[in-house]
């Protein structure tokens, strides 16, 4: 994660593993999804009689240990890594949410953000349902529990949860890739536009996994099967996978930023390996904005494939110029004021031997607030770079995201009201260029994505007041999402 800018979406995993401890698989799956959220982690399980839950603030490795994992009994589990806004950092917002319902325990882990969460929240409060957090994910779990579909006993052979999930999908607007845990099944659910990824895999020893990214399937020894389709509900239980139409699909809108930055490079999205798409982003950028330079370097780790693609397309040497401290992660120890001013130095060190006297192209995946690019340029100059040309492998981010990303408000986005030359001056680069939206779409090579933070073209109506309020108010009203 960059020190500033756009933060990752959350990561979710659901596991059904007959004869095995599902919590251990969920744990390692969450490990593989750590990049999607470092604020809190949690796992809920069921052994068919009772449900169990462990969640806390911190990284997966900080939250779980042998003792608490062994308390998570059962062959089915769901897990969650969370990133939300810093002001909203509190264990009460950690996931999964686990409650008792008429039909047994229900736990929910959510990746996304409901754009009508405030309305659903008010509706629940009016119906006398108490809420204990500001999270739209709690709204989802309570909405499922309190759904009118749940009144009375379920018909013979009918799955009451599928009816309730459908009822939720009729009402919920926005982005949601969900995994739900009930007494004896896991449900994987994707909103009708498919904003956030969700994939299915088969465990070699039997059983199935649903996860935010295919990289997590590899980690737990599962074979990739397919994506959960937009609008689909998949029930996973001891009998296998059962697919239901949850809601007819709407205009497809997978977040294009998953390709740009969020997803792991070794994950597959829409049948494409993210790393290869990122190389193509770099090649497109080279065609649109070549630079006269000696070496090309990337901002590690997220912009390395783009830098390789850029260098290759221009026949320039790709080199390492910045070393990232891979162990800094998320810390609760705040740096003092002097260190905070140099926050980028805590994370990146220049490789002076590769930089001295060189005209350097620095490729980054994106610039959101612009707090990182300037210090990185300074770092390279201090290490002896003769020139620093910044190339950004995505278009300027000009609009906020309401579909599950803790991005920034209009005021915080450097490109919202500043032109190219003003940004170049601010970050102190010798030249600056961004990839065009057309170039981004060409590199991704498939239509049907959300591009709203670049284009302002939101795939669904956004309540106008959401553009007005600042983030603190969004948090307060419980409408800012779960990443
Ligand atoms: S606005 Fe940007 S970050 Fe948000 S879902 Fe759309 S493409 Fe992704």
pLDDT of residue 158: 79
Q: CATH 3.40.50.2020: does it fit domain 274-446?
A: yes
The pTM (predicted TM-score) of the whole model is 0.92
DSSP 149: G
371-395 mean pLDDT: 96
CATH 3.40.50.2020 positions along the chain are 274-446
pLDDT digit string, tens, across residues 94-151? 999 999 998 899 999 999 999 998 899 999 999 999 988 888 889 999 999 988 665 5
pLDDT value at 207 more than 50: yes
Question: Of all protein residues, whose CA lies closest to atom 2 belonging to ligand 1?
Answer: 453
Count of CB atoms situated within 10 Å of the CB of 154? 14
CB-based burial of residue 387 (10 Å sphere; 0-12 exposed, 13-18 middle, 19+ buried)? middle
280-295 mean pLDDT: 98
Q: Which token pair is 335?
A: 């740096």
CATH 3.60.20.10 positions along the chain are 11-253
| Residue 240, phi then psi, degrees to nearest 5 | 125, -150
Around ligand 1, the residues with Cβ closer than 6 Å are 195, 255-257, 401, 403, 405, 450-453
Mark 440-463 as b/e (b = at least 16 C-beta within 10 Å).
bbbbbeeeebbbbbbeeebbbebe
Question: Of all protein residues, whose CA lies closest to atom 4 belonging to ligand 1?
Answer: 401
pLDDT digit string, tens, across residues 389-433? 999 999 999 999 999 876 667 888 899 989 999 999 999 999 999
Mark 50-70 as b/e (b = at least 16 C-beta within 10 Å).
ebbbbbebbbbeebbeeeebe
Nearest 10 degrees: CA dihedral of 346, 347, 353, 355?
-110
Residue of 374, 417, 405 lying closest to 471 (CA atoms): 405
pLDDT value at 152 more than 70: no
pLDDT of residue 344: 85
Neighbouring-strand partners of residue 46:
51, 76
pLDDT of residue 477: 44
227-239 mean pLDDT: 97
Q: Which of 230, 269, 401, 458 to mutate to test the pocket of ligand 1 (most atoms within 8 A of CB)?
A: 401
pLDDT of residue 237: 97
56-83 mean pLDDT: 95
pLDDT value at 483 more than 50: no
pLDDT of residue 341: 62
- With a pLDDT cut of 70, the percent of the chain lying above it is 88
pLDDT value at 479 more than 60: no
Neighbouring-strand partners of residue 272:
269
CB-based burial of residue 412 (10 Å sphere; 0-12 exposed, 13-18 middle, 19+ buried)? middle
Strand spans (E) along 249-397: 254-255, 268-269, 272-273, 295-298, 322-324, 348-350, 359-364, 387-392
- pLDDT tier, 210 (very low <50, low <70, confident <90, very high otherwise): very high
98 and 76 in contact (C-beta within 8 Å)? no
pLDDT of residue 405: 78
Residue 135 Cα to ligand 1 midpoint, Å, equals 19
Higher pLDDT, 93 or 439: 439
- pLDDT tier, 88 (very low <50, low <70, confident <90, very high otherwise): low
83 and 58 in contact (C-beta within 8 Å)? no
As a whole number, the mean pLDDT across the chain is 90
- pLDDT tier, 470 (very low <50, low <70, confident <90, very high otherwise): low
153-158 mean pLDDT: 62
pLDDT of residue 85: 46
Pairwise CA distance, residues 476 & 234, whole Å: 33
Nearest 10 degrees: CA dihedral of 24, 135, 264, 396?
-170
Residue 54 Cα to ligand 1 midpoint, Å, equals 31
CATH number of 11-253: 3.60.20.10
Cis peptide bond prior to 162, omega within 30° of 0: no
pLDDT value at 193 more than 80: yes
pLDDT of residue 482: 42
Alpha-carbon distances, residue 171 vs 9, 181, 191, 290, 402 (angstroms): 22, 21, 11, 48, 17
Higher pLDDT, 155 or 126: 126
- pLDDT tier, 465 (very low <50, low <70, confident <90, very high otherwise): confident
Catalytic residue among 10, 255, 401, 450: 10
| Residue 341, phi then psi, degrees to nearest 5 | -60, -30
64 and 95 in contact (C-beta within 8 Å)? no
Residue of 274, 267, 316 lying closest to 291 (CA atoms): 316
Expressed in percent and rounded to 5, the helix, strand and coil fractions of the chain are 35, 25, 40
10 is catalytic: yes
Residue 470 Cα to ligand 1 midpoint, Å, equals 18
360 and 321 in contact (C-beta within 8 Å)? yes
């Amino acid at each position: 994660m960059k020190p500033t800018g756009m933060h990752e979406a959350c990561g979710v995993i659901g596991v059904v593993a007959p004869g095995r401890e599902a919590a251990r698989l969920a744990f390692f799956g969450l490990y593989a999804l750590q990049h999607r959220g470092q604020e809190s982690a949690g796992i809920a399980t069921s052994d068919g009689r009772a449900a169990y839950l462990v969640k806390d603030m911190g990284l997966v490795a900080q939250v779980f240990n042998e003792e608490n994992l062994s308390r998570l009994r059962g062959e089915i589990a769901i897990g969650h890594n969370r990133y939300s806004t810093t002001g909203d950092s509190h264990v009460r917002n950690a996931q999964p949410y686990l409650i008792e319902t008429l039909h047994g325990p229900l736990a929910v882990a959510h990746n996304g953000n409901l754009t009508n969460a405030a309305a659903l929240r008010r509706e629940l409060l009016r119906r006398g349902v108490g809420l204990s957090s500001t999270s739209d994910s709690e709204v989802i779990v309570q909405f499922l529990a309190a759904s009118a579909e749940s009144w009375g006993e379920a018909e013979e052979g009918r799955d009451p949860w599928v009816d309730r999930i459908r009822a939720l999908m009729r009402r919920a607007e926005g982005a949601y890739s969900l995994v739900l845990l009930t007494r004896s099944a896991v449900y994987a659910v994707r909103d009708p536009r498919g904003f956030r990824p969700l994939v299915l895999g088969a465990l070699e020893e039997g059983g199935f996994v649903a996860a935010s990214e295919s990289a997590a399937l590899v980690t737990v020894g599962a074979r990739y099967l397919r994506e959960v389709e937009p609008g689909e509900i998949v029930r996973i239980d001891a009998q296998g996978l059962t697919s239901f139409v949850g809601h007819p699909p709407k205009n497809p809108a997978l977040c294009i930023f998953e390709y740009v930055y969020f997803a792991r490079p070794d994950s597959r999205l829409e049948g494409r390996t993210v790393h290869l798409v990122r190389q193509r982003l770099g090649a497109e950028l080279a065609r649109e904005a070549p630079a006269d330079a000696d070496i090309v370097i990337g901002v590690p780790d997220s912009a390395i494939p783009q830098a390789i693609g850029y260098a290759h397309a221009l026949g320039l040497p790709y080199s390492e110029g910045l070393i990232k401290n891979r162990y800094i992660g998320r810390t609760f120890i705040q740096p003092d004021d002097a260190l905070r001013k140099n926050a980028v130095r805590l994370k990146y060190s220049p490789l002076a031997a590769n930089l001295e006297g060189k005209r350097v192209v620095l490729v980054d995946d994106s610039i959101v607030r612009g707090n990182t690019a300037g210090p990185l340029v300074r770092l390279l100059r201090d290490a002896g770079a003769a020139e620093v040309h910044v190339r950004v492998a995505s278009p300027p981010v000009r609009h906020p995201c309401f579909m599950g990303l803790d991005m920034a408000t209009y005021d915080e986005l450097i490109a919202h009201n500043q032109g190219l030359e003003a940004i170049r001056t601010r970050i102190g680069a010798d030249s600056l260029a961004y990839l065009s939206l057309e170039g981004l779409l060409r590199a991704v090579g498939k239509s049907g994505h959300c591009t709203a933070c670049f284009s302002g073209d939101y795939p669904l109506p956004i309540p106008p007041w959401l553009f007005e309020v600042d983030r603190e108010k969004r948090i307060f009203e419980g409408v800012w999402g779960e990443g």
